[in-house]
Structure 1
Amino acid sequence: MSQSNRVRWGVIGLGWFGEVHADNLAEIPEIELAALCTRRPERLNEIGERLGVNRLYTDYRELLADTEIDVVSITTHINDHRDIAIDALRSGKHVLLEKPMAPTVADCEQIVEVANNAKGFFMVGHICRFDPRVTIAKQAIDEGRIGKIISMHARRNLSKAIGQTVLDDISALMGDGIHDADLMLWFSQANVSTVYAQEVHPGQNKFPDGGWSIARLDNGAVAVVESVWHLPESTPYAIDARLEVIGTEGALYINCGEAGLTIHDAQGVKMPDTMYWPRPFGNYFGVLKEELCYFANCVRNNEVPKRITPAESCAAVAWMEAATESAQTGSVLRF
């Protein structure tokens, strides 16, 4: 770290979300956004100039060789996650890898094996674990307030306008369903026993626009994940995300879709994001910033991240990978 005890951070991958990462990092006093990397020189120079970053790389290996960098965010295409994460861990950097960890369990296991022997810390960015609505629900479950979990159902649906920009890279189930798969496993502290899924593909992109997966957990609970990126373009929701958890002694309901603000203007009715990475008056706050600060504090204090473990991240990928296979074959898969 720098003499000022600021964590020096680099971002590898400057697509839309990589830029959001960089913008948030640049506004956190305890962090120095020190380096950027993308294969597109014009994009690199544009964001570097805007954020005042001088260390600019078109080859991520050169960034990893920079001894002035403590931490890297990896916000690239999912198919690049395995190799870049392994190289970053072997270079001694602390690594925050965007979810999903990798496309397959086999890829995840390779990353985890390297992470287990790496000098730096490793965490996958499951942002929902930092949402206060979710963490308060987790606390209530751990306190036994709803008894033993017997049923969970989640939906996380997006406009097809967003889907059309993403569905050549990843399916709706793997891209967003993985959030709720992870939360359900976290809430229940259970493992998946069987998985069945169906997907729909009304659009023209490579991957299915939506899917449903039902899992039986080894504690007896049933868990259903719904993710459909085909809402009308006029939908008021930035994201229609809700999660219901029913236990033997009670229930809880998390509503992340209606985030407390509705704006009705000449363009229609919209419910903008007020929690994840809102930017009122030009400054970010929210759950993503909380996640970045958490990892920075782990690095600064030399404490292994505990909010989510690599094994837990891998388990969520395993469920969604099995769901994809089930949807393609029509079979119930057993773990």
Structure 2
Amino acid sequence: MDKLRIGIIGLGWFGEIHAETIMGVPNLELAALCTRTEDRLTALGEKFGVEKLYRDYHDMLADPEIDAVSICTMWDQHTEPAIAALKAGKHVFLEKPIASTVEDANKIIAASKGAKGILFIGHIVRFNPRYRMAKQAIAEGRIGKVVALSSRRNIPAAWTPTILNKIGPIVGDAIHDTDIMLWLTGDKIVSAYAQTVDVRGLKHPDIGQTMFRFAGGATATLETVWCMPTQTPFDIDERMSIIGTEGIIHVQDTFPPLGIVDANKLHSPDITYWPMFDGVRGGALREEFNYFTSCALSGSTPKIGVPEDAAAALQATLAAEESARTGNVVRIG
């Protein structure tokens, strides 16, 4: 087999971005789409020229011509389709967070053991070349032992009202930095403390400030603000500092890598994660799909997007959310 036929389960905004990305991956064929919303299914079927359209993912999984699935449902709806897809022998690209509870994450991991297909968790930041370069420098010993980390991942308020009624900023976004910090240190998080700020009265607070302690003694602080002013000229303010005993690494993926001034304001659009060129997405998301496809076609077990790593990041961020609710430091056993 030299091409993987993939279907997408869940066609919200990110499911559509997945489809736009898959169209640019040579060894992937977008073969099927699935959502319960009939008009959305019809519209995206027409947009991408996909004939196999399903309203029930079980019907998609029963199709022997589908080799793999991308699951882009909400995080609390990951468990059943992921397990069903693994049992059906499909390769599974599961968006982060792996699940909404550690228990469900463990169920998904258990289902992947001995499964015919691979299970890959879409922690996209690992495919950002800046963090990959940081990982390489740390592995080479260039900054010594990591003793402190700090991150910022802030986005404009206009993006988030709908999202904040589904997921909060710590699990929704700080989980990216949590995963990267676990990856860079190769360590475990043993405690979490967090505070949140409710600005707009939505289901989840707009701001999360988190602190982690690692087993090896390092500490980390994570800032996640989902209510930057609407006139903010960039889509994301993303930064990380890694301080070692012998050096420092600073990662910045924010304004001004690209500035576009039009009649309204200065814009600095994403050029890293899923930039659009001629109707097809590129960037880190395409690299992620390239990696997933390569692993699936070669029968290799992924070394990035490992389910156990994703579960560890989920456990830490859920502990941080518990800390914010209770005001207590939460120990992670």
Range into which the TM-score falls when normalised by the shorter chain: over 0.9
Query: Letter of the aligned partner of 1:126 in structure 2?
Result: H
- Structure 1: where are the runs of 5+ without partners? none
Judge which range, 94-103 or 196-205, deviates more.
Answer: 196-205
Contact preservation (8 Å) 1:241, 1:256: yes
State the TM-score, normalizing by the size of structure 2.
0.98
1:262-319 per-position Cα deviation (integer Å, ceiling 9, x unaligned): 1122211111101111113333211100000110011111111111311110000001
Partner of 1:200: 197
> 1:1-335 residue pairs with structure 2 within 5 A?
1=1, 5-258=2-255, 260-335=257-332
Question: 1:107, CA displacement in angstroms?
Answer: 1.1
CA distance in 1, matches of 2:223, 2:43: 38
1:66-116 per-position Cα deviation (integer Å, ceiling 9, x unaligned): 110111000001110111111111111110100000111111111111111
1:165-220 per-position Cα deviation (integer Å, ceiling 9, x unaligned): 21111101111000000000100011011111101111132111110110110010
CA distance 1:288–1:209, shift in 2 (3 Å) = same
State the TM-score, normalizing by the size of structure 1.
0.97
Q: Secondary structure at the match of 1:225?
A: strand
CA distance 1:259–1:9, shift in 2 (3 Å) = farther
Query: Letter of the aligned partner of 1:70 in structure 2?
Result: D
Show structure 1 runs of 4+ deviating over 3 A: none
1:215-249 per-position Cα deviation (integer Å, ceiling 9, x unaligned): 11001000111111010011111111100000000
- Structure 2: where are the runs of 5+ without partners? none
Q: Root-mean-square deviation (CA), in Å?
A: 1.0
Judge which range, 103-112 or 321-330, deviates more.
Answer: 103-112
Contact preservation (8 Å) 1:244, 1:254: yes
Query: Letter of the aligned partner of 1:262 in structure 2?
Result: G
Q: Secondary structure at the match of 2:8?
A: strand
Question: 1:259, CA displacement in angstroms?
Answer: 5.6
Report percent identity of matched pairs.
46
Q: Secondary structure at the match of 2:281?
A: coil
Query: Letter of the aligned partner of 2:52 in structure 1?
Result: R
